Amino acid sequence: MTTLIINIKQLVNATESYSLLRGDALAILPVINNAFLLVEDAIIIDYGSMDELKSKIPLLPQNVIDATGQFILPAWCDSHTHLVFAATREDEFVDKIKGLTYSEIAAKGGGILNSAKKVQAASEDELFQLAWMRLEEISKSGTGAVEIKSGYGLTVEAELKMLRVIKKLKEKSSLTIKSTFLGAHTYPLQYKENHQGYIDEIIKEMLPVIAQEKLADYIDVFCEEGFFSAEETEQICNAGIQYGLKPKIHANQLNLSGGVQAGVKLNAVSVDHLETMDEAAIQSLAQSNTIGTLLPTAAFFLRMPFQPARQLIDSGCAISLATDYNPGSSPSGNMNLVIAMACIQMKMLPEEAINAATINGAYAMEVADSLGTITIGKKQI
């Protein structure tokens, strides 16, 4: 079906030339005032100013929508979520109010381990239904592409179960979905003193099946003190690379973990979180093709300092914004909230935040050829 949208107050990020944005370029957001947009079967066919409508579209289609007073933007590209989970962790929310830190909650069996127990007990169908509802919810708030991680399974069976749920979501949803294997999210209790034992399970038992069933696009590791070291991160990601999975890494959330430098060395698509950065980590990222994905709602819900967005942008790092939607540290998949926080708390300009949540987010999922800007041939959502 062909649909023409007319009288659009502002058509945002409309451009025929796009690239990964860094430095001053992040603040350049092409807009067309009083615009039209022509869409056929969810693909953008044409757009321009209303002054050009008659010459560009002499024969109007039957389906015309008047968008007087309204803005149209490309859909949000949320490049970091954990939206397959069995239950939220509001009990830990109270622990946090009482003063426990993320690491202290994790050390007493809460956090990721708590979510893993619940995912292990849930059926594939239950997990699918819950995740489906969350996809519908984020789609209503403007998200058109989303990356989803495993990582609450932590056994061969439960990690594969999560990835199969994501595969089914990909097949059934109209959203564009990328899948990330995060078996290395934390050490299961039985491997607390035997890290190499769990790493071997990831490499020898999980990765071969994941590759065979094509269950993931990326590999992720929580590179953090008390979780996986930079060396362990490299070992796991290099094994993933052998199976065709590119790294996207949880780095520098709670400490200077070496995760940023490890990610750059591995040519990771992105290093995500970055609450805790020093000059060496910033310079290493600035001089690489790796994208720094900032997750302001994770900092907010954990009452942590926000990511140093200004410093990262001004140093030339390519950054994107994402929700980190998960049952504990970021129980929200709302990209609008992420953008508001990026502006209010991290001093990003609105133009920078919108670019970071659209075109740069699309690059952080390698879908920039079909999403992230209003461009002829790209998807409407």
Q: Write the binding mask 122 to 161 for ligand NIG: x where contact by CB under 6 A, - elsewhere.
A: ----------------------------------------
Out of 47, 198, 222, 325, which residue is the one contacting ligand NIG (CB under 6 A)? 222
Q: Which is nearer to ligand NIG, 151 or 240 (CB)?
A: 151
Residue 248: Cβ-neighbour burial (10 angstroms; 0-12, 13-18, 19+) = buried
Instruction: Report the 3 state secondary structure along 185-204.
Output: CCCCHHHCCCHHHHHHHHHH
92, 328 contact by CB (below 8 A):
yes
The single-letter DSSP state of residue 292 is E
Q: Which is nearer to ligand NIG, 229 or 373 (CB)?
A: 229
Most distant CA pair in the chain: distance in Å? 72
| Among 39, 41, 121, 28, residue whose Cα is nearest residue 72 | 39
Report, in Å, the least distance between residue 62 CB and ligand NIG: 46
326: contact with ligand NIG by CB under 6 A: yes
Out of 253, 334, 358, 360, which residue is the one contacting ligand NIG (CB under 6 A)? 253
Pick one of ligand NIG, Fe ion, none as the site partner of residue 115 (Cβ within 5 to 8 A by kind). ligand NIG
Out of 96, 134, 250, 378, which residue is the one contacting ligand NIG (CB under 6 A)? 250
User: Angle at the Cα of 209 (from 217 to 154), degrees rounded to 5?
Assistant: 80
Report, in Å, the least distance between residue 330 CB and ligand NIG: 6
Report, in Å, the least distance between residue 250 CB and Fe ion: 6
Pick one of ligand NIG, Fe ion, none as the site partner of residue 183 (Cβ within 5 to 8 A by kind). none
Sorted by sequence, the CB contacts under 8 Å of residue 367 that are 6+ apart come out as 77, 145, 176, 178
Give me the residues that bind ligand NIG (CB under 6 A), please. 82, 111-112, 115, 222, 250, 253, 298, 324, 326-330
